[in-house]
A and B are shown apart, each in its own frame.
Chain A
């Protein structure tokens, strides 16, 4: 009889060193966790032979896996995934608060040491249970998306360089505890600097943030599994769509961030924060009514393009900004 995902689970932990075993990972990605894509390849090559048209033999190459996950941002558990980008969180106030990254240069870890992931996916199957352990997982991209009338959805794309032989030791006790309440659009608020402080971006329809680590697995001779992994440029990009209220943001693009306050100053400005003082430069908060929150602060914000939608009969006018930021600080209050 076919089994459904009601017989499966996913849990993860962080490895002390690349590919090191994690005895019993306990982390849950969030609510409604779904494995939306999962592939393991050995990069097989077919070798041909002179004198025949059929392949002569097969050779096997690098082992590489990719795992795509979707989940709903939970107020208690989901913040832990930021360790894969910024390293282990530091304690804040209150003591349950975890702070990842910072809004100055060199806040993100430069290596994946201690921040690679071991992921265990178990399925209670009909004939033989399957518990697969993926090691040396690196978080390629993490995306958070909030839209009106929806929960806050996340996706994570992970590449891994080693998979252990599957086990048949499935246990329901290994299902990770998930005590979160979901964040929804009703918990979100976006603020950006307005020249003196920060102002709420009102009538916000959608807000997305994406972290792309541009990380790669490193292989070496004498092993088909990855030996290590390394990080390259950390890209923090996103967009938001809100009611089109004024020329503030389109002027910033037209002037290439140069300010034009009363026509007296048109100095070169690099970022939104250079042109419009106020701290934080960009702040996206998800907060429940009982004190739990995840706050994402950005610095070095640069708008890439501006789009207008709804300029047709009966439709509301929205402006959409695509942006990139240099630095990010995540503050999670999970309890």
Chain B
């Protein structure tokens, strides 16, 4: 009866890592990191693409009489940053979305209830030397 905030990030990192390249044109796997593991970002990773994972709100819903069950719904931002060109950035974004869509149901390895894409938008217009895209996902699990 804890939280899913931190295990969800581990699951997402492993899920993306294990499934990277399934589309055939995904190219080299980006670095997947929790946002707090790299305190300063920007020029430091301009030789390799990075996906930063940031947990947002964890909505915990009372899910059983007598407080017997709780259903957790965590929102996670996947902050995709690349530095080469738009085509390469597009490949990375497509591969991340492909993996998430293909794993909407949990499994024995990743025992979440479901994983859903909630929003996807580009922030590249704000950058000069970097392409940036934000994907927000919902990771749900009961009684972690």
Contact = CB atoms under 8 A, between A and B. Distances in A.
Q: Which of B63, B66, B107, B140: most chain A Cβ within 10 A?
A: B66
Contact of B65 (A9, A180, A291): A9
Given A181-B113, A182-B142, A290 B108 contact: yes
B111 A34 contact: no
A9 B142 contact: no
Interface stretch (B26-34, B45-53, B67-75, B88-96): B67-75
Contact of B142 (A149, A172, A181): A181
Main secondary structure, interface of A, reads: mixed
A172 B140 CA distance: 28
B111 A290 contact: yes
A178 interface: yes
Given A31-B69, A178-B69, A181-B113, A186 B104 contact: yes
Given A10-B65, A186-B114, A291 B71 contact: no
A175 interface: yes
Contact of B105 (A10, A172, A187): A187
Contacts of B111: 181, 289-290
A288 interface: yes
Interface in B103-143: 104-108, 110-111, 113-114, 116, 140-143
Interface string B58-91: 0000111111110100000000000000000000
A6 B65 CA distance: 6
B114 A184 contact: yes
Contacts, number: 70
B63 A31 contact: yes
A217 interface: no
A184 B63 contact: no
A5 interface: yes
Interface residues of A, number: 28
A20 B106 CA distance: 42
Q: Which of A34, A176, A178: most chain B Cβ within 10 A?
A: A178
Given A184-B140, A290-B107, A291-B108, A33 B65 contact: yes
Interface string A166-189: 000000100110111110101100
Contacts of B63: 31-32, 72, 182
A33 B64 contact: yes
Given A9-B65, A32-B64, A289-B106, A187 B142 contact: no
Contacts of A288: 105-106
Given A182-B142, A186-B114, A6 B105 contact: no
B105 A8 contact: no
Interface in A129-154: 149
Interface string A62-83: 0000000000100000000000
Interface in A180-206: 180-182, 184, 186-187
Contacts of A175: 65-66, 68
A176 B64 CA distance: 10
Given A182-B113, A186-B116, A290-B108, A7 B66 contact: yes
Contacts of B108: 289-291
A186 B111 CA distance: 14
Contacts of A31: 63-64, 69, 71, 142
Contacts of A8: 65-66
B104 to A, nearest CB: 5
B66 to A, nearest CB: 4
Interface string A1-35: 00001111110000000000000000000011110
9 contacts: A6-B62, A6-B67, A181-B111, A182-B142, A186-B114, A287-B105, A288-B105, A290-B111, A291-B108
Interface of A: 5-10, 31-34, 72, 149, 172, 175-176, 178-182, 184, 186-187, 287-291
Question: Which are the 9 A-B pairs with shortest beta-carbon distances?
Answer: A289-B107, A186-B114, A290-B108, A289-B105, A9-B66, A186-B104, A175-B66, A32-B63, A289-B106
